Amino acid sequence: MAKSKRAKAAGAGKALEQAAQKRRGQKYVLRLYVAGITPKSEQAIRSVKEICEEHLKGRYDLEIVDIYQQPDALKQEQVVVAPTLVKKLPLPLRRLIGDMANKKKVLIGLDLRPKG
């Protein structure tokens, strides 16, 4: 019985590692909504670009949307606050709202760092 539990645990660990490797190779499609050219918007843009270059180099598309220039985009994505980072791919879709300077929070939101 103890061997069976160990075998299941080893199999689960192997499956988890395979899933993590698959995610590392996936392309990310991101959209960052900002409110004009303000210090907060500039900080959000800089922070998200740095995170993408450090953790997703060559595997991401980042579109920056100024909600003042494209107000219709807010309704399409159901964005109510800026800055908001939307991870469209890989699924599941995620929305990160607020301070993008919190690197750990952004990495967790993008599924790039384990929780804890």
Query: What is residue 13's predicted lDDT score, i.e. its pLDDT?
Result: 46
Query: What is residue 100's predicted lDDT score, i.e. its pLDDT?
Result: 95
DSSP3 helix / strand / coil % (the chain, rounded to 5):
45, 20, 35
Question: Over 80: is that where the pLDDT of 101 sits?
Answer: yes
Query: What is residue 76's predicted lDDT score, i.e. its pLDDT?
Result: 84
Question: Which carries the bigger pLDDT value, residue 9 or residue 112?
Answer: 112
CATH node for 27-109:
3.40.30.10
Mean pLDDT, range 80-89, rounded to an integer: 94
Question: Which carries the bigger pLDDT value, residue 15 or residue 111?
Answer: 111
Joined tokens for residue 53: 């270059």
Question: Over 50: is that where the pLDDT of 19 sits?
Answer: no
d(Cα 98, Cα 12) in Å, to the nearest integer?
35
Mean pLDDT, range 57-79, rounded to an integer: 92
| Single pTM value for the model | 0.77
d(Cα 8, Cα 25) in Å, to the nearest integer?
26
The strands making up 84-89's β-sheet, listed across from edge to edge, are: 60-66, 28-34, 84-89, 94-97
- 6 class by beta-carbon count within 10 Å (0-12 exposed, 13-18 middle, 19+ buried): exposed
33: pLDDT confidence band, cut at 50, 70 and 90? very high
- Mean per-residue pLDDT of the chain: 84
Helix (H, G, I), strand (E, B) or coil at 23: helix
